[in-house]
Amino acid sequence: MPEVMQRQELKGLAKTYGKFWCTWQVDRGDRLPLGAPALMMSPQEVQMAMAEPELVKSRDDKYKVSSEGIKESRKEMAEPLRVNPNADYWRLNGKGFAVDVVQKDMKAPALGSL
């Protein structure tokens, strides 16, 4: 996606603290949305999820982009105004919450409620 288009999306997204529900994990090879959604995050000021520098360089060379240039151009984007204290519960407590898919009996709705 061209940087001009990315910037418009990122202006709003950067304020969200980088959490989202992933329902279709194509990086895992899923061809369809399968299984339970997973809460994913993109730590913005944290180094723990950084890619290996040689992989970034390889990608930059392949697609003729500059990760450092893009990073520099995005410095002025607004960060979250407030971070909910429970947003990093998993990091503070070493535990998180999981969503699971379970089979349940379901009743057909009454015709009048459709």
Alpha carbon 55 to its chain's center: 20
Entry pTM: 0.48
Q: Which residues pair with 16 in a beta bridge?
A: none
Sequence spans of domains, the chain: 3-97
Residue 13 to residue 1: CA distance in whole angstroms: 16
Residues 6 or more apart whose CB falls under 8 angstroms from that of 35 comprise: 101
Residue 14 to residue 17: CA distance in whole angstroms: 6
- Tens digits of pLDDT across the chain (114 residues): 777 888 888 887 777 776 778 887 777 888 888 778 887 776 555 565 578 889 999 999 999 999 999 888 888 887 777 777 777 787 788 887 778 888 899 888 877 666
- Are the C-beta atoms of residues 24 and 88 closer than 8 Å to each other? no
Enter the DSSP assignment of 99.
Answer: -
Chain length of the chain: 114
